[in-house]
Amino acid sequence: MELRPALKITLVGDHDPQVTAHKAIPVALQLAAQANGLQVQAHWVATDSIETADDLAGFDGIWCVPASPYRSLDGALLAIGHAREQRLPYLGTCAGFQYAILEYARHVLGWDDAQHGEEAPDSPRAVISALSCSLVEATDGIRLVEGSRIARAYASQRTHEGYHCRYGINPAFEAALLDTDLQAAGHDDRGELRAVELANHPFFVATLFQPERAALQGIAPPLVSAFLSACAGEHA
């Protein structure tokens, strides 16, 4: 039987070997690939090395990884916009959630003044703001929206996940942001938004939690498995 070529996944973010999520992501990809009978090659791409879409050519999927602020806001937004516009499978975790919201606000809703509160805390349009309760090295329950891609990935409407996060969607802008193709996919038990996905996209999912952390316990994260399956489907 002919082996399928290895999937090429770009990990967009500024690699730091001390970041727990950065340690977990390569393990998560390998465990998920094995669970799906796939091969995967992961390539770290620093945000300040992304200047044009050509810098992202040849990849089967984009994972925008934790650890913010990114060195290059423009590079991160270019990568996210490329995945969105080219219908390339996209997974964003933690910072990848935050910047996906920002990219959508700026380039789909046309909010040119939209900002990330970590970088511009005084902005009147900080679509990402400090969480009411910090989630640094925390774990919490998540209620997944029935029928969402995330719920299908977990085959459940509930999961328990780890975080290392201080910023999330600004509640003042949440209704306007979710009044289009961007849809809520998960909330914590207080009703605060923890995951989103694009309705009219093969696979565009972003979570404030870090599902990759499960890999450090030897568990193939279901959402990473779903991401790789989508990447394989794009080139089947």
Confidence of residue 3 (pLDDT cuts 50, 70, 90): low
Give pLDDT, residue 234. 44
Q: Which residue has the higher pLDDT, 1 or 206?
A: 206
Give pLDDT, residue 211. 97
For 73-83, the pLDDT digits (tens) are 999 999 999 99
Lowest mean per-residue pLDDT among 105-119, 123-137, 171-185: 123-137
Between CA 172 and CA 231 the distance in angstroms is 34
Closest among 164, 155, 148, 145 to 209, alpha carbons compared: 164
**Mean pLDDT score of the chain, rounded to an integer?**
94
**DSSP-assigned states of every residue in 40-79:** EEEEEE-GGG--SGGGGTT-SEEEEPS-SS-S-HHHHHHH
Between CA 91 and CA 230 the distance in angstroms is 10
Give whole-number Cα distances, 71 to 35, 62, 111, 119, in Å: 34, 18, 22, 11
For 64-107, the pLDDT digits (tens) are 999 999 999 999 999 999 999 999 999 999 999 999 999 999 99
Is the separation of the CB atoms in 17 and 216 below 8 Å? no
Give pLDDT, residue 236. 34
CATH number, span 7-234: 3.40.50.880
Give pLDDT, residue 72. 97
At a CB cut-off of 8 Å and minimum separation 6, what does 108 contact?
84, 180, 181, 182
Give pLDDT, residue 139. 84
% of the chain residues with pLDDT over 70: 97
Over range 159-167, report the average pLDDT: 90
Give pLDDT, residue 1. 40
DSSP strand pairing (193-198 vs 182-188): antiparallel
Give pLDDT, residue 163. 87
**84: its two tokens:** 């969105």
Over range 152-170, report the average pLDDT: 93
Confidence of residue 135 (pLDDT cuts 50, 70, 90): confident
Give pLDDT, residue 138. 82
Between CA 128 and CA 26 the distance in angstroms is 27
Confidence of residue 180 (pLDDT cuts 50, 70, 90): confident
Alpha-carbon Rg for the chain, nearest whole angstrom, is: 16
Residue 159: CA atoms inside 13 Å, Cβ hemisphere, count?
A: 26
- Determine the 3-state secondary structure of 140 from DSSP: strand
For 13-59, the pLDDT digits (tens) are 999 999 999 999 999 999 999 999 999 999 999 999 999 999 999 99
* DSSP state letter for 214: G
Q: Quick count: other Cβ atoms within 10 Å of Cβ 134? A: 13
Residue 68: CA atoms inside 13 Å, Cβ hemisphere, count?
A: 31
Q: Quick count: other Cβ atoms within 10 Å of Cβ 56? A: 18
